[in-house]
Amino acid sequence: MDHYDVIVLGVGSMGAAACNALADRGVSVLGLDTYTPGHAHGAHHGGTRIIRQSYFEDAAYVPLLRSSYAGFRRLEEESGRDLMTLCGGIYVGDPGSTTFAGSLAAAQEHGLDHEVLTAEQVHERFPSMTPAPDALALYEAAAGYVRPEETVVANAEVAARKGATLRFGEPVTWWGATPGGGVEVVTPQGRYGADRLVVSPGPWAPEVLADLQLPLSIERMVFHWFTPDTSTVPYERWSDAHHPVYIEQTHGNHQIYGFPMTDGPDGGFKLGFFRVGSPTTAATIDRVVREEENDRMLERARELFPLLGRPVVEAKTCLYSVTPDEHFVVGQHPGHPQVSVACGFSGHGFKFVPVIGEILADLATTGTTDHPVELFDPRRPVLAG
């Protein structure tokens, strides 16, 4: 049986980053995954993910984001790939909304550069947008988007170059702690042993981490690319050269998020609902996007972008793994300290990929980390029931 210092189960968003961080430390690491890097079966496809610092979810995330930004730039240098584009970000809502007020609170608490704009100022600067008259917006220049598939591939490539052994097309059928304090992992191709295990299973967490009985909700989400009216507002004003990423929720309407046109004039204008999904599993998700889903999205989108229209350039599904408090699950397995887990990223985790990789490497090598991870404790009451 081949033996490694650390085995990483799941070489997706967080697992590939963990493999990279572990290999960088000279650790003997094996990564195992059912699929190939950048696949479309989980939660890391679709071309773009927002990255931002004025974090309305909780200001405690901001130090992690600063580390993550540095990690993306480092990965760009190591891989030679373009991964992060800072085109700015704008968060629009009524004055009491979490989207606006929470972003403002995080920016103020951490001294982040930002501007507060009225609805009229938003429209003047970004003519694609027509917010509600009483809406306010926080704009930050240090926001934009990252390329998820490229990031996963980059981490896998760099990890392999540093000495990691990565096996794709090799699903794990069983894993367990061994009496001596190590772990054993079984696949159709063989058995592997290690001193430590990192489990980063994405939307397969309910099955792979069944013993933890985590109250995760696996949700089918849809994102859409619509056609903007470029005769009224020219293409350049919809593109990432002049348009920010955005999040908007005003007077209790469903929160939406999205991106400028990042792939040329034929690529469409991408957006989606946040947390308006339907329960599913990774094995049973319905991948067909129906016309009524496009209709519903377009009707809501036009509340902010009245110049959006048809045809629908593209629509895709993805999977969210959502915890009851929407904070992540990152830490040591409560029953097996030689096992670290990372899951439940609740639709806002990808921007943290580099720093989560570092945290998982810390936990697998020293059992602790200097990064602030108290929010993510697998033993917190909301997860324990």
SS (H, E, C) the chain: CEEEEEEEECCCHHHHHHHHHHHHCCCCEEEEECCCCCCCCCCCCCCCEEECCCCCCCHHHHHHHHHHHHHHHHHHHHHCCCCEECCCEEEEECCCCHHHHHHHHHHHHCCCCCEEEEHHHHHHHCCCCCCCCCCEEEEECCCEEECHHHHHHHHHHHHHHCCCEEEECCCCCEEEECCCCCEEEEECCEEEEEEEEEECCHHHHHHHCHHHCCCCEEEEEEEEEEEECCCCCCHHHHECCCCCEEEEECCCCCCEEECCECCCCCCCEEEEECCCCEECCCCCCCCCCCHHHHHHHHHHHCCCCCCEEEEEEEEEEEEEEECCCCCCEEEEECCEEEEEEEECCCCCCHHHHHHHHHHHHHHHHHCCCCCCCHHHCCCCHHHHC
User: Cα-Cα-Cα-Cα dihedral of 104, 108, 114, 115, to 10°?
Assistant: 60
Q: Mean of the pLDDT values across residues 274-283?
A: 90
- Taking the C-alpha atoms of residue 328 and residue 321, their distance in angstroms, rounded to an integer, is 9
* pLDDT tops 80 at residue 60: yes
* pLDDT tops 70 at residue 17: yes
- Taking the C-alpha atoms of residue 297 and residue 177, their distance in angstroms, rounded to an integer, is 46
Q: Mean of the pLDDT values across residues 259-278?
A: 93
Q: List the single range of 42-46, 77-81, 302-306 with lowest mean pLDDT.
A: 42-46
Q: pLDDT digit string (tens) for 83-108?
A: 999 999 999 999 999 999 999 999 99
* pLDDT tops 80 at residue 369: yes
Q: Mean of the pLDDT values across residues 44-49?
A: 95
pLDDT at 1: 85
pLDDT at 203: 97
Q: Mean of the pLDDT values across residues 56-69?
A: 98
Q: List the single range of 134-148, 151-165, 270-284 with lowest mean pLDDT.
A: 270-284
Q: Mean of the pLDDT values across residues 46-64?
A: 97
pLDDT at 213: 95
Degrees, nearest 5: CA angle 124-260-349: 120
- Residue 385's pLDDT band, with cuts at 50, 70 and 90, is low
Mean pLDDT, the chain, whole residue set:
97
- Taking the C-alpha atoms of residue 348 and residue 355, their distance in angstroms, rounded to an integer, is 14
Those residues with Cβ within 8 angstroms of residue 200's Cβ, 6 or more apart along the chain or in another chain: 8, 9, 10, 12, 13, 14, 15, 18, 341, 342, 343, 360
Q: Mean of the pLDDT values across residues 202-223?
A: 96
* pLDDT tops 80 at residue 197: yes
pLDDT at 384: 80
* pLDDT tops 70 at residue 13: yes
* pLDDT tops 90 at residue 275: no
Q: Mean of the pLDDT values across residues 196-223?
A: 97
- Taking the C-alpha atoms of residue 123 and residue 243, their distance in angstroms, rounded to an integer, is 12
Residue 54 backbone class (left: φ over 0; alpha: ψ -120 to 50; beta: rest): beta
Q: Mean of the pLDDT values across residues 287-314?
A: 97
- Taking the C-alpha atoms of residue 271 and residue 258, their distance in angstroms, rounded to an integer, is 4
What predicted TM-score, i.e. pTM, was given to this entire model?
0.97
Residue 279 near residue 217, CB atoms below 8 Å = yes
